[in-house]
Structure 1
Amino acid sequence: MNQVSHTAAHSGMALWAVLITSSFYAAAEVTGSVDPIFLTALRLAFSAVLFLPLVFLRGEASLSRSHLAGHAWLGLLLAVYFASLFEALRHTSVVTTALLFTLVPLMTLGIELRLIPSANSRGRIMPMLMGASGAALLIIGRAGHVVVSEPYPILVYAAGCLAMAVYSPLSQWLKKDSLRQRSPVGMTFWNMLFGAVFLLGYTFYDGGWRTAALLDVADIGWLFYLALFATLGTFWLLHRATASIAPATVISYIYLSTLITTACHWFWFKQTPVILEITGALMVGFGMFALFQVGKRRGSAAA
């Protein structure tokens, strides 16, 4: 797989953070009475269909046994994450899940050290801790409080966060062996397709598919927008970046997305920033800059 430059990978992930932020607002436009897991399955399925022509053009439409196993595992991790998120949200607040998700990059780093250790891993610990702490302050500052949750949703979503943390390092590890011929296009298509299949299977089991009758034309339009930009685009950018920069650094861009979301509330919704948000914004900014510099020095040393 052809690698993009260090700067291009980071620039792509900055765009990823913008697209992730936009997805929150677009998702809010879809009818709230439709089962969220079913909606996510549709998003993944629509995204895979949109990528199908490119998959045929690149000759990645066939699956060997090793390809099947690799993509199935990665698709299952996506399904576990989304299913756990929506199950947790039935019992706790968005603030609680958002705070838990700030731990995913650090969890990713731990798994990365086991699967694909690199020389600059220690140098990324402090910037990532700063970014995670800053993102937590942004979330708490915007919410104005921390909700004490019951153990059940925390344990459920923690399992989902672990699945998401495994996703990128496992993807990169598999690219060295069974999936080494897969491009970002092929990885995005097949992982999303398997994720959609697992999620659709779950909704048929629990009956969530029946809410499809509540979808209207506007909902379908928003779903295609989400499928094209917030799902297909973000997964392609993620797989494109992991070919050049470490998986834990890639997923750390969720901190930048948190900062962008908060900035939208400041400027779009005319909300006055509180001291926690300002402190968190500075910490995220310094943390992300430090991560960029650590990766840049590694790239220069390798050259």
Structure 2
Amino acid sequence: MLARYYLEGIHMMTTAKNDAKTPVDLFDQTLPRTWPIHGLMLVMVLFVASSFPVGKLIAGKLPSDVMMLIRFSMAALLFAPYIFIKHGLHIPTVRSLCRYALLSLPLVTFFWCMFEALKYTTALNTGALFTTVPLMTAVFSTIINKERTRILKSTGLLCGAVGAIWIVFKGDFSALLSLDFNIGDSIFLVGALVFSLYNPLIKRMHDGEPTEVMTFWVILFGAGWLLLLSLPELVYVEWGKVDAMVYGGLLYLAVFTTLLSFFLTQYGIVKLGATKVASYSFLNPLFVLVLTILMGSVSFSLSIAPGILLVIFAMFLIQIE
């Protein structure tokens, strides 16, 4: 009983405070409720960042649409038992199926563009171009979801883009200016533009169903679109000559950068909003750098430290806005 009165007293004192709150006050109040979700977003970024070196490793071993078909089909098959056991064997309504089919199109387009682009360009170039996704997402969120982009968020988006590019080019902006924009970069930029629609569309089209159900049907429809796209090439693939490394890479992409990352992204968007989730894309170059350092491919350089600080500062501004 005493504990009850104590808690009620705490509640009365906190509700009696002045309603005017600073951004830091708001951050302190919302962080305890949302920090687990932000932690999951960091895991999602790690999965997405790992897709670039893995994608570069197996790019060109099979046609892009065939590789993506295998990737999405693996993810759907692995996820199906969980969905059917937990939610039962039933088909969503026609309206829901149309929503899932539409949501799958930006994903299919982006990943096809990524694999196709990596045939002609480098992971460095794609990493630099991927930093445009949060900015374009903010624009589409304003148009589709009427999200307002205030000064803090705008400043954060700008700082994040500069910081991410700084990390990619290690502070050497002469290398950025001399960047050779080739056909692969053009393909990837189109994919990034379409992908920027994905987060706002999830926020707009989510109809209260469990996130894992939406994830499963979006992936399944993605596999369906890719089957139609790859039908002319499937008969010419010599499956026996495909390197086992390709199947291993596709299995990794199916589980971690398709199934789990899609689920985490959609869950985060519903809870945090499209722009905040998209802003985590600024961390991709940093995570790619960490992965390559751990793999022994590169060593850490102090020249990228300003970029890391800018990205962290940008994330702070966008999350408290």
Shorter-chain TM-score bucket reads 0.7 to 0.9
Change (3 A) 1:44 1:287: same
Structure 1 residue 6, shift from structure 2 partner: 2.0
Of 44, 63, 70 in structure 1, the residue corresponding to residue 92 of structure 2 is: 63
SS at match of 2:208: coil
The letter of the residue matching 2:46 is V
Aligned residue for 1:47?
A: 75
Aligned residue for 2:14?
A: none
Aligned residues: 286
Of 35, 38, 42 in structure 2, the residue corresponding to residue 7 of structure 1 is: 35
Change (3 A) 1:206 1:5: farther
Percent of aligned pairs sharing the same letter = 26
| CA distance, structure 2, for counterparts of residue 268 and residue 153 of structure 1 | 26
Change (3 A) 1:237 1:211: farther
Are 1:265 and 2:292 an aligned pair?
yes
Are 1:244 and 2:268 an aligned pair?
no
Of 155, 159, 164 in structure 2, the residue corresponding to residue 126 of structure 1 is: 155
Structure 1 residue 259, shift from structure 2 partner: 0.7
Contact 2:107 2:195 in 1 (8 A): yes
Over aligned residue pairs, what C-alpha RMSD do you find?
2.8
Structure number with higher relative contact order (C-alpha < 8 Å, ≥ 6 residues apart): 1
TM-score scaled by structure 1?
0.83
Of 181, 200, 203 in structure 2, the residue corresponding to residue 149 of structure 1 is: 181
The letter of the residue matching 2:117 is A
Q: What does 1:33-112 align with in structure 2 at a 5 Å threshold? A: 33-56=61-84, 57-59=86-88, 61-112=90-141
Of 2, 10, 16 in structure 1, the residue corresponding to residue 44 of structure 2 is: 16
Structure 1 residue 255, shift from structure 2 partner: 1.7
Q: Write out per-residue CA displacement over residues 12-40 of structure 1, whole angstroms, 9 at most, x where no aligned residue.
A: 10111122233345446658522343222
Structure 1 residue 46, shift from structure 2 partner: 0.9
| CA distance, structure 2, for counterparts of residue 171 and residue 211 of structure 1 | 38
SS at match of 2:169: helix
Of 165, 171, 189 in structure 1, the residue corresponding to residue 216 of structure 2 is: 189
Change (3 A) 1:211 1:95: farther
Structure 2: which 5+ residue stretches go unaligned? 1-31
Structure 1: which 5+ residue stretches go unaligned? 295-303
Contact 2:142 2:148 in 1 (8 A): no
The letter of the residue matching 1:286 is F
Aligned residue for 1:231?
A: 258
| CA distance, structure 2, for counterparts of residue 106 and residue 268 of structure 1 | 30
Contact 1:35 1:208 in 2 (8 A): no
| CA distance, structure 2, for counterparts of residue 111 and residue 213 of structure 1 | 44
The letter of the residue matching 1:124 is K
The letter of the residue matching 1:163 is V
Structure 1 residue 106, shift from structure 2 partner: 0.6
Contact 1:54 1:185 in 2 (8 A): no
Change (3 A) 1:196 1:5: farther
Superposed structure 1 runs of 4+ greater than 6 Å apart: none
Mark the structure with the bigger radius of gyration: 2
The letter of the residue matching 1:174 is M
Change (3 A) 1:81 1:252: same
Change (3 A) 1:21 1:98: closer
Structure 1 residue 173, shift from structure 2 partner: 0.3
SS at match of 1:33: coil
TM-score scaled by structure 2?
0.78
Change (3 A) 1:30 1:92: closer
